[in-house]
A and B are shown apart, each in its own frame.
Chain A
Amino acid sequence: MIHLSRITPIALLLAAALTASGLAQANENAESVTQILQEKPFAQTRVALQISDGSAEKQDLVLNVAHNLLKFYGQDKIDIEVVAFGPGLRLLFKDNANSQRIDELAAAGVRFSACDNTIAAMAKQLGHPPELNPIAHIVPAGIVRMVELNKAGFFVARP
């Protein structure tokens, strides 16, 4: 027999877990460029997309470009990374209206990198670090990530 007195703390813990899910989830650090080159050895084309503008139009554009690249090349033949820094980091905020599209692209193999320098700067303005989409990986500096990807053979574009 289940006693209600035993259910109460379980229910409270469950409620807390449900409420907190996604809120304080830490984002993982991004793999190094060397590691990602090994992960998709059959990728014939590699593209790094920069988003450093927070407008809705730029967000739509970079997601559309990623989608179009996947559609043309096929997700097994292309390696795409979206690097967000500056105001563009809004794309990777947890409650972004484009979250569903971002999740779908991530499921198709697109990586999303978030600039740690921008996170720190925004934390100063907000009073706390911004909550990011769980699929975003942290890179020390977005522009450095772009440079390193370019040096590794990625085609760099800023839609």
Chain B
Amino acid sequence: MKPQTTNKKIQRYLALTSLCAGILAAMPSAHAANWIMLQGTEPAETAPRAEVWGFIQPTYSKDFSNAFAGKYVPPKLVGPSLDSQSSFNILRARIGVRGTGFPLDSHINYFILTEFGNNALTNGGAYGSYKPELTDASVTLNYIPGARIRLGLFKYPGAEEGLQGINLSPYVNFTDVTNQMLQERFPTKGQGNIAPQATPNANMNAYSQPSSGFRDVGAQVFDAFDVGNWEHTYAVMLGNGNGVNMTDTNNSKDLYLYWSSAYLFDKNAKGAFQPSLKMFTWYQGGKRNDVWNTTQEQDRKRYGAGIAYLKMPFRVTAEYMWGKGMIFQGAQNPGNGTTTAASIFNDNKASGGYLEGGWYIPNSKWELDLRYDTYKRNTGIMSGPTPEAKFRTWTTGVNYHFNKKTRVTLDYAFRKDSATTTAVNNQLKDVKGLVTLQVTAAF
């Protein structure tokens, strides 16, 4: 290549790069909120040094499933302990602090949150495994236009149910696809599988470590941009791939990618109930080591796409996602307690999704909700101890909003589970309705 041609190419590249950099810097970062921005940033020049906040969710659950041959499996029991079919519980009790630290400089904000409730984050299930958890501890640096940097422990950018503020979820329980395919559990070497138990006092949860809580420790680059009435958001994160556990267990890092484009019906509205039509897609990929044989690595991939519409008085959300590797086989199946691979350490496939809608009845404090979710795990495996299984649920729900911070939720889930082998299908076919009543009080 002639030097003159090379010089012209370099000049053209520099010209375009500098022009793009200028345009990027001039494009206003979006102030309209979304989950990525709501949880990672503070309103510029208005946030306090330290704002205490949190919420409590006392919950009652009753499972109407029947035993099979006098024995129970986890879908028929109330979590996280999986000891009985009905229970009161403090499902979540979180308290945290967020703010700017130094109010004169809004370029830095922080977020810290702890969990004292009894759920998969704080109680793996095995007796004696409850302990409060630090669920979030992050610092966001807002110095580079278009590229905010968040560091620490926080929710990774991904599926809507996991990413949203859980105190604002219209339903008490996650969908099966979110609970099984996305909410990662971490087995401990030596914990074996538990066979169906004869009584509800079963202690069927064989995990003792906190679940991921849709969180990871790592670094994320993100921002949102307004283009007319559109708000485009991106996030790229590298994390340990070890949930709320502080350190990594291997040398590989998980990669998280996220993009959303939302049409804002009211650009001046802010907060979690900003009316918009949002389309989003996400990906996460990483590697896990078998706890029974740490030299063995398994890829874990998840990806999905969805759409979320909110314009009072209606809300509609739909999402579908796929997974490959490390497919959860149930709380009673972390592994087999020997030197062979854990049940959860697999290369199986799974997929699922949901469609839900809500109607905020005008001039009242009532909200009606309806959701259908479906999940198929171990796709294509027609025999063996962990065959293809399907989980289909209709959830009907009602919320009564005492005020904008406190509500009561009543859900009834009509469940139909099945599997391709008789042995597993026998355990799932008698899974019946589940009623849950929950108060959410935020402060």
Contact = CB atoms under 8 A, between A and B. Distances in A.
A15 B22 contact: yes
B40 to A, nearest CB: 15
| Contact size range, A | 20 to 34
Interface string B169-210: 000000000000000000000000000000000000000000
B21 A15 contact: yes
A80 to B, nearest CB: 21
Contacts, number: 75
B185 to A, nearest CB: 39
Contacts of B22: 14-19
Interface stretch (B98-106, B153-161, B273-281, B375-383): B98-106
B273 to A, nearest CB: 17
Interface stretch (A42-50, A93-101, A107-115, A145-153): A93-101
Interface in B1-48: 8, 11-12, 14-16, 18-19, 21-23, 25-26, 31, 43-48
Interface residues of B, number: 25
B25 A5 contact: no
Interface string A1-30: 000110110011011111101000000000
Given A11-B15, A126-B104, A90 B25 contact: no
A56 interface: yes
B364 interface: no
Interface of B: 8, 11-12, 14-16, 18-19, 21-23, 25-26, 31, 43-48, 103-106, 268
A127 to B, nearest CB: 10
B106 A95 contact: yes
A125 interface: yes
A7 B21 CA distance: 16
A93 B100 CA distance: 15
B14 A93 contact: no
Nearest to A18: B22
A17 B25 CA distance: 11
Nearest to A16: B22
